[in-house]
């Protein structure tokens, strides 16, 4: 009857050498995540924070929502943007995405 069903023979005990290799792979994976994901994100957040803290009156900025305006008033948490003649809005400081070069508002439509 051996030709219909193959015999299952017991093998020797499994070796425990893979544990150290798994630990090294876990450490390498963490290092890769740190350099590819965590470090660039903290660097970007630090640059944004210094940019927000250095805002001054007269700077032309673009918000995260896409509004282009000139800063006419600054507070601790908010700033006042003039987006057109006599049209001013209040925006959170953290909502500022980028600081544009002077004269950008004059060159737009």
To the question of domain 56-107 being in CATH 3.30.230.10, the answer is: no
Q: Tokens for 95? A: 């909502």
Predicted pLDDT of residue 69: 94
Distance between CA atoms of residues 92 and 48, nearest Å: 14
Among the listed ranges 8-22, 27-41, 65-79, 88-102, which one has the minimum average pLDDT value? Answer: 8-22
Q: Where do the structural domains in the chain lie, given as residue ranges?
A: 16-54, 56-107
DSSP 3-state of 20: helix
Over the stretch 37-89, which tens digit does the pLDDT of each residue have? 999 999 999 999 999 999 999 999 999 999 999 999 999 999 999 999 899 99
Residue 1 has pLDDT above 60, yes or no: no
The pairs formed by 81-89 with CB atoms below 8 angstroms and a separation of 24 or more are: none
Residue 90 has pLDDT above 90, yes or no: yes
Residue 11 has pLDDT above 80, yes or no: no
């Amino acid at each position: 009857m051996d030709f219909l069903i193959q015999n299952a023979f017991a093998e020797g005990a499994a070796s425990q050498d893979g544990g150290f290799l798994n630990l090294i792979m876990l450490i390498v994976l963490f290092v890769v995540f740190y350099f590819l994901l965590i470090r660039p994100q903290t660097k970007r957040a630090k640059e944004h924070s210094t940019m927000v803290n250095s805002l001054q009156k007269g700077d032309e900025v673009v918000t995260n929502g896409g509004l282009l305006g000139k800063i006419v008033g600054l507070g601790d948490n908010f700033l006042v943007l003039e987006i057109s003649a006599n049209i001013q809005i209040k925006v959170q400081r953290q909502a500022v995405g980028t600081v544009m070069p002077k004269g950008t508002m004059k060159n737009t439509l």
